[in-house]
Amino acid sequence: MTRRMLILICLVSTTICLQSQEANYDESAVPDYVLPELLVNEDGSKVKTKDDWEKIRRPELLGLFQQNVYGRVPDGDFSQSHEVLSHEQNALGGLADRYEIKITIDKNDRVLSFNLLVYLPADAKDPLPVFMGLNFNGNHTIHPDPGILITESWVRNREIPPIRNNQATEYARGMAASRWPLKFILERGYGLATIYYGDIDPDYDDSFQNGVHPLFYGPGQERPEDDEWGSISAWAWGLSRAMDYLVTWEAIDPGRVIVIGHSRLGKTSLWAGASDERFAMVVSNNSGCGGAALSRREFGETVKRINTSFPHWFCRNFHDYNMRVSELPVDQHMLIALMAPRPVYIASAEEDRWADPRGEYLSGYYAAPVYNLYDPTVLEFESPDIDSPVNDMRIGYHIRSGGHNVTKFDWKQYLDFADNNLAE
Ligand code: GTR
């Protein structure tokens, strides 16, 4: 063997070794872990009834997630106004009414606006159920409809379709349409509402100088306190501000607004659903670490890794657990439990090992005891086969074949689950 070959072999094996050190994908190497007790209050007493849960344990857990994971929204009044920017009847060839509403937040002489895009099935008679979720690249990317305004906010540069200078253009119109099967959703009798998440807080680490955070700074404050909101909490807060508007809209049923999100925006939909109980149902699509996946399994993406790659997503205190996940006072099954008794759907994808599909399933499994306080028939269920959804209980789950994405298959399950759980 030549010296060059030897060096090459060493290099390749070092790379493989380093990669495998980065993330564990071996079920047998998942550390032994003990989850924090879901149904034991901080004073050691047991949670026996839904009253105990609602009055004591739920507020405790919500506070622990605020303090240690996502960060609390700072106190303080702000004013909020709404302006209908456009309304087109007979959009999509007569299938829908399309609206764009500018929501403006005003605080401390600073202003932030974000655009809510809403499609409602045409000619609906009764107040409608609506799915609401944030999108990754601008409202104009969710459908080729030429009437959708192109976002003026910062967007991530990319090669295809080309986005330069962090400025959205016509090129990207409809580029994410496969993730938002609008016609399918409307034909099932649901509306769709969406906001570009970058309108609320651009998704890069700028020490919280842009987006909504600076509106809430006190005199001399330059970044959120250690227990105050990171970007996920800010995005979730934006969803709640949109909800403030939806609940005033006669055509929409305020008791049937469903919050949905994929990946980092699935982490966001879960946190929005936990912090704002007006959301009647919650959908987590491939949300992974910091979303539905149990942190203590350290399978795929870990707390340390996510806080290193995305230092702005969670509150500062969460970083303290990078090397001591077992000391976190919560784990993500508790986040799922915060939805109870509202229906929650967790979706995984077989090839999305980075998001730990088994950890996502297990958080639903371990949340079931809280649902049982309301309805003893919500039993823990075995992890189903690939492409075999469980959608007939208050906790829904599937693991789809394929990778990290949102597909029409996923949407079909969410629509069926909503029909099963939120029917009038
Ligand atoms: C990944 C991140 C995941 C997930 C994903 C996404 O890079 O590690 O936690 O959020 O991004 O949002 O697309």
Q: Which residues contact 53 (CB under 8 A, 6 or more apart)?
A: 39, 47, 340, 370, 373
Q: Does residue 264's CB lie within 6 angstroms of at least one atom of ligand 1? A: yes
* Pair 316, 226: CB distance under 8 Å: yes
Give the residues across from 110 on adjacent strands: 107
* Pair 336, 5: CB distance under 8 Å: no
The secondary structure element, H or E, covering residue 411 is helix 408-422
Q: Does residue 301's CB lie within 6 angstroms of at least one atom of ligand 1? A: yes
Q: Which atom of ligand 1 is nearest to the CA of 262?
A: 12
Q: How many CA atoms lie within 13 A of 210 on its CB side?
A: 13
Q: Distance, CA 43 to ligand 1 centroid (Å)?
A: 36
* Pair 84, 99: CB distance under 8 Å: yes
Give the residues across from 194 on adjacent strands: 117, 133
Start-end of H helices in 47-177: 50-52, 58-65, 91-94
CA–CA dist 393, 377 (Å, integer): 8
Q: What's residue 20's pLDDT?
A: 42
Q: Distance, CA 85 to ligand 1 centroid (Å)?
A: 32
CA–CA dist 53, 244 (Å, integer): 26
From residue 374, give the alpha-carbon distance in Å to each of 49, 93, 343.
8, 44, 12
DSSP E strand boundaries for 73-135: 79-90, 96-107, 110-121, 128-135
Closest-CA residue to 50 (of 270, 375, 418): 375
Q: What's residue 423's pLDDT?
A: 87
Ligand 1 site-directed mutation target among 232, 305, 310, most atoms within 8 Å of CB:
310
Q: Does residue 38's CB lie within 6 angstroms of at least one atom of ligand 1? A: no
Q: Three-state DSSP class for 45?
A: coil
From residue 163, give the alpha-carbon distance in Å to each of 115, 195, 262.
20, 19, 22
Active site residue 263: yes
Q: What's residue 377's pLDDT?
A: 79
CA–CA dist 153, 165 (Å, integer): 11
Q: What's residue 119's pLDDT?
A: 98
Active site residue 401: no
Query: What pTM, to 2 d.p., does this model score?
Result: 0.95
Q: What's residue 17's pLDDT?
A: 41
Q: Distance, CA 255 to ligand 1 centroid (Å)?
A: 31
Distance between terminal CA atoms of the chain? 74
Q: What's residue 381's pLDDT?
A: 81
Our CA dihedral for 395, 136, 74, 64, rounded to 10 degrees, sits at: 30
Q: What's residue 88's pLDDT?
A: 97
Is 48-80+122-421 in CATH node 3.40.50.1820? yes
Q: Does residue 268's CB lie within 6 angstroms of at least one atom of ligand 1? A: no
Omega of the bond prior to 144 within 30 degrees of 0, cis? no
Q: In what order do the strands lie in the sheet with 344-349?
A: 79-90, 96-107, 110-121, 191-196, 128-135, 252-262, 281-285, 344-349, 395-400
Closest-CA residue to 271 (of 298, 243, 235): 235
The pLDDT tens digits along the chain (424 residues) read 444 544 444 444 443 343 345 799 999 999 999 999 999 999 999 999 999 999 999 999 999 999 999 999 999 999 999 999 999 999 999 999 999 999 999 998 999 999 999 999 998 999 999 999 999 999 999 999 999 999 999 999 999 889 999 999 999 999 999 999 999 999 999 999 999 999 999 999 999 999 999 999 999 999 999 999 999 999 999 999 999 999 999 999 999 999 999 999 999 999 999 999 999 999 999 999 999 999 999 999 999 999 999 999 999 999 999 999 999 999 999 999 999 999 999 999 999 999 999 999 999 999 999 999 999 877 778 899 999 999 989 999 999 999 999 999 999 999 999 999 998 7
HEC profile for 249-284?
CCCEEEEEEEEEEECHHHHHHHHHHHHCCCCCEEEE
Cα 331 to its chain centre, rounded Å, is 16
Catalytic residue among 263, 269, 295, 363: 263
